[in-house]
Structure formats: C-alpha cells, structure tokens
Amino acid sequence: MKLEIHYQYGIANAIIKHWVCNGAGAISVYKYKKGKYFQWHEDPEYGNWPNIKEISFKTLEEIAKNNPKSIEYLKILNRNKCEVINYLVENELEAKHLDSTLN
C-alpha cells in the first residue's frame, strides 16, 4: 500500500491510497472539503465509481471501528501536517506529503 496525503494551506484535505486488490491495482480517495467528507474507489472489490460520493462523519467512524487495521481517515483529514505525521508515526505508516492541487 502506498499513501499520498494532500494538504491545502497546511491542512490535510485528501488521502489517496494505492493498493492491490485481487491481484489488480486499486485506488481509494478520501477527501475533506468545506466541512464535508467524500469517497471514491477504482478497484475490483468496489468497482469503478463514476463519481466521488459524499459520506458522513459517522461512516468514517464506522470504517475505523469495523476495520481496526484500516487507516483512521478522521485522524488525518482536516488535520495539520504535524498531527498527521504524529498519527502516521504512531501507526508505523509512511506517506508521501504533497501540496494539494485537488479541489
């Protein structure tokens, strides 16, 4: 798995996760914009979503609760870079940090 964390004005606004699913490359995108959370997937498990979908804060809480080995997206999205790096270090994760061009 490879992670990219995108920042806008020093705040994480997108997580892009590149991973392998059933032997094929897959991408999952989680975004935060104007107080709302969004999700998009392109992979054999979820299919190729034509559009990014708005999801609730509660949905992200449920992902973390039901998948303890999953990334806790709420501990990254809408957090400053220092908080994100602390979370990654505590969970032994590595990520590429990028200034965002994603809207």
Q: Over the stretch 37-88, which tens digit does the pLDDT of each residue have?
A: 999 988 877 778 888 999 999 999 999 999 888 899 999 999 999 999 999 9
pTM over 0.85: yes
Task: Give the pLDDT of residue 23.
Answer: 85
Structure tokens at 83: 């908080």
Q: Which of 97, 96, 101 is nearest to 81 (CA)?
A: 97
What is the per-residue burial (b if ≥16 Cβ within 10 Å, else e) of 28-47? bbbbbbeeebbbbbebeeee
* pLDDT confidence tier of residue 101, bands split at 50, 70 and 90: low
pLDDT tops 90 at residue 102: no
Task: Give the pLDDT of residue 55.
Answer: 97
Cα–Cα distance measured from residue 17 to residue 48, given in angstroms and rounded to the nearest whole number: 15
Q: Which of 62, 77, 75 is nearest to 11 (CA)?
A: 77
